[in-house]
Amino acid sequence: MEHLTAPPTVAEPLDVLRRRTSEKWSAYPADVLPMFVAEMDFPLAPAIKAALTAAVERGDTGYVDQGDTSLRRSFADFAADTWGWRPAPERMRPTTDVSVVIVESLRRLVRPGDGVIVTPPVYAPFFDFIPEAGGAVVDVPMLHDGMSYTLDLDGIDRALVGGARGVLLCNPHNPLGLVHPRETLVELSRIVARHGGFVVSDEIHAPLTHSGVEFTPYLTVSDAAREHGIAAESGSKAFNLAGLKCAFFVAESDRMASVVTGLPAEVSFRTGLYGAIATRAGFAESRDWLAGTVAAVEQNLDLLDTLLHRDLPAVRLRRPRASYLAWLDMSALGWGDDPAVRALESARVALISGPSGGHGGEGYARMNVACAPETITEAVARLARAAAGG
- Run of H or E including 292: helix 287-311
Long-range own/partner contacts, residues 17-24 (CB < 8 A, 24 or more apart): 17/41, 22/243
Sheet strands side by side (includes 364-368) = 316-318, 325-329, 364-368, 352-353
How far apart, in whole angstroms, are the C-alpha atoms of residue 323 and residue 334?
A: 28
- CA distance readout (Å), 328 to 140, 177, 207, 305, 382: 21, 11, 22, 10, 15
Give pLDDT, residue 67: 84
Contact 379, 35 (CB under 8 A): yes
CATH code for the domain defined by 49-285: 3.40.640.10
Give pLDDT, residue 251: 98
Residue ranges of the chain assigned to CATH 3.90.1150.10: 14-44+287-387
Residues of the chain with pLDDT under 50: none
Give pLDDT, residue 1: 65
Residue ranges of the chain assigned to CATH 3.40.640.10: 49-285
Which architecture does CATH list for 14-44+287-387? Alpha-Beta Complex (3.90)
How far apart, in whole angstroms, are the C-alpha atoms of residue 243 and residue 344?
A: 25
Give pLDDT, residue 389: 87
